[in-house]
Chains A and B, each alone.
Chain A
């Protein structure tokens, strides 16, 4: 299967759709000062909708991680405004931002970042504990989510007892257990083999992408481009292009 992406020029202009999941307006992020000043993000404006898997691609150092850090409220911008899920997080205070992130954003990390002393079920319930759920209820909910990602029989396993793919599935369950409106995945397949990587991407596509949820996946892996609904390419801190998936062709049709 091959996905065909066509350039979408519409999304780099002024905010048009108030229902956009993510809106960046003239966002810059600089590090250092004087001669050593670098722009990790350079006047980035972007609007990303709900209901899609958005792939953020580009070479190392192009600003992908900085962009998702800014979107997730983990980094302050040097300039510009960031709206996430209808909230201007640039103007949000620290405590409110932390709470917003805990309530609305789920994370899937490259190295899974599961707590080694907790079981799969206990790891998956952490966002609910952060939200103030009581442990039994949180564990029950986490169990349901683990079932949905196909790990119902591995709930009591610790991270070191799981394969890489299974650990990433636990991480996906953890990211979704509190039903966030935005899922941020940073290189979710980088530490996995090709097969496990596809399984994980299929899972994210199947359980994460919903009409009222946005999914951003930062990736180097061109093999997962098939799964994206939109590809945002970056280079040197700027958005180079945004391509929207128009069609998926089978390999046979292309050859013919």
Chain B
């Protein structure tokens, strides 16, 4: 009877395509909008993910998100190093520089200053990108003064289609900077170029301020849980300490609470769900109503209610599966095409498994509701219907 159910479904091509369209539309809209939303939210945390090697970020207690820079006194570093459980603690500069372009215009850039006085257990500078992220140049060149690594999108943003050229110079806050390499970075929320340099060089690029220590990066000793160490650091130093994960979610929470982004995207996702429900539900209901006599006939011929439920659910699952595949496939394709078309800025498009799972769950709800609406009519069918 499963075969009969499928033949009934595809036999009415108009209705079948209508139901598939409804589900596809819902899956596409939910997937695509969720991917853009997640991409944007992830972009707010790009520096947390780019700065590798540390377990914990220590900052001023009033910091609310990663771009909320509130400099501290330099002596805070020593206090943090003195906390039991800390393997090492290094400085990190994070700030905004003003780069002067060849055409005389100015462009804000994100400056990341790494502490070259401290190295981790592997002898690498803390926060230094993994080798596979370094696209051009030798990281050791950053030990020379006035040198920077620029992110690849930043190069395209500033220099357009000009191919990478080692040694190209520019001014940052009226100080000469020589680009000695390209690095792949996670896209930022503001789409600013990102520049890596030494900590002291970053200070030289920035306007002088009484306090310039923005973050302290900490590694926990073996056997010490980073979450527990955070609490200890906060108790001992009265600073705010967050693990990478905690800082990640803290930053996202800030943007979720303080901006209209989640509401706007949330409304669109909800609309996609509702419209999908309406189209698929209505069409599926009509499909069942038009086949009511046939279902009644099948019941008369000995098909049990349970089997009828199975047939209708199978029909719903098939259209759900096809619609979901087409919709999510379309959303993924959108991301690929979008990424190829827009070359000056990395696309804010994150298509994680969570989006697939949640969209899948939403599609399942759509088809279940559609099937349930139809089943009510079929299960409580009067016997006399088939005799009319």
Contacts and interface: CB of A to CB of B under 8 A. Distances in A.
Interface stretch (A6-14, A112-120, A145-153, A209-217): A112-120
Interface in A96-146: 98-99, 101-103, 105, 107, 109-111, 113, 115-118, 122, 126-127, 129-131, 135
Interface residues of B, number: 24
B101 interface: no
A68 B301 contact: no
Given A113-B296, A115-B294, 6 more contacts: A74-B386, A98-B304, A103-B302, A107-B301, A131-B302, A186-B387
Contact of B303 (A66, A102, A105, A186): A102
A129 B374 CA distance: 23
A99 B302 contact: yes
Interface string B284-315: 00000000011011111111100000000000
A103 B301 CA distance: 9
Contacts of B301: 101-102, 107, 126-127, 130
Contacts of B299: 74, 98
B163 to A, nearest CB: 60
Contacts of B304: 95, 98-99
B121 interface: no
Which size bracket describes the interface of A in this complex?
20 to 34
Given A69-B384, A109-B386, A109-B387, A115 B4 contact: yes
Contact of B302 (A65, A102, A109, A113): A102
B300 A118 contact: no
B384 A118 contact: no
Given A69-B387, A113-B293, A113-B386, A127 B7 contact: no
Contact of B4 (A74, A105, A107, A129): A129
Contacts of B386: 74, 107, 109, 113
A101 B300 contact: yes
B238 interface: no
A6 B9 CA distance: 51
B90 to A, nearest CB: 71
Contacts of B7: 115, 117-118, 122
Contacts of B168: none
A131 B1 CA distance: 10
A75 B383 contact: yes
Nearest to A112: B297
Nearest to B13: A117
**What are the 7 tightest A-B residue pairs by CB atom distance, in nearest-first order?**
A102-B302, A117-B11, A74-B383, A113-B297, A98-B304, A65-B387, A186-B387
A72 interface: yes
B294 A113 contact: yes
A109 B384 CA distance: 11
Nearest to B307: A130
A110 B387 CA distance: 7
A107 B383 contact: no
Contacts of A118: 4, 7, 11
B302 A130 contact: yes
B317 interface: no
Contacts of B384: 65-66, 69, 74-75
A115 B3 contact: no
Nearest to B12: A117
Contacts of A66: 384
Contacts of A65: 384, 387
